[in-house]
Amino acid sequence: MSGAPEQRDWNLPKDQNPNREKARAIRARQRAIGRELRRMYDDIAQEPIPDDFADLLRKIDENDAQSGKRVS
C-alpha cells in the first residue's frame, strides 16, 4: 500500500506530523525551483544582445525610410 497517505501519529506534536513536514518540504522545493527558473530566464535576459539584432533593426529602419518616401 505504498500509495496510501501516511497516518498521523497523534503522539507527535502537530508540527512534526509527517504529512505537514512533507507538505512543507514540497513548498520549499517549489520555491527553490521557482527561484531557479527565474534565475535561468533572467540570466538569458541579461546577456548582451547579439549584433544581428542591431543589424536587423537597422534594416527595418532603412526599409521604413524607403517606403516612407513612397507612401507618405
Partner 1 sequence: MGQHSISSQNLPTAPVTQDFKSELLGLIPFLRAFARSLTGNQEAADDLAQETLVKAWQSRDTFIPGTNLKAWLFTILRNQFYSDRRRAWRQAPWDQEAAERIPGGGNDQSWAAELSDTARALRCLSDEQREALILVGAGGFSYEDAARICSCAVGTVKSRVARARKALIAILEGEDKLPSIPRPDEGDAAREIMAQLDRLAPNRSAEELARQQARRDKDSGS
Interface residues with partner 1 (CB under 8 A) are: 2-3, 26, 29-30, 33-34, 36-38, 40-42, 44-54, 56-58, 60-61, 64-65, 68-69, 72
User: Which CB sits closer to partner 1, 20 or 68?
Assistant: 68
Rounded to a whole number of angstroms, the minimum distance from the CB of residue 15 to partner 1 is: 20
Q: Is 18 in contact with 6 (CB distance < 8 Å)?
A: yes
Q: Is 17 in contact with 9 (CB distance < 8 Å)?
A: yes
Give the count of beta carbons closer than 10 Å to the beta carbon of residue 67.
10
Q: Is 45 in contact with 37 (CB distance < 8 Å)?
A: no
User: Which CB sits closer to partner 1, 12 or 57?
Assistant: 57
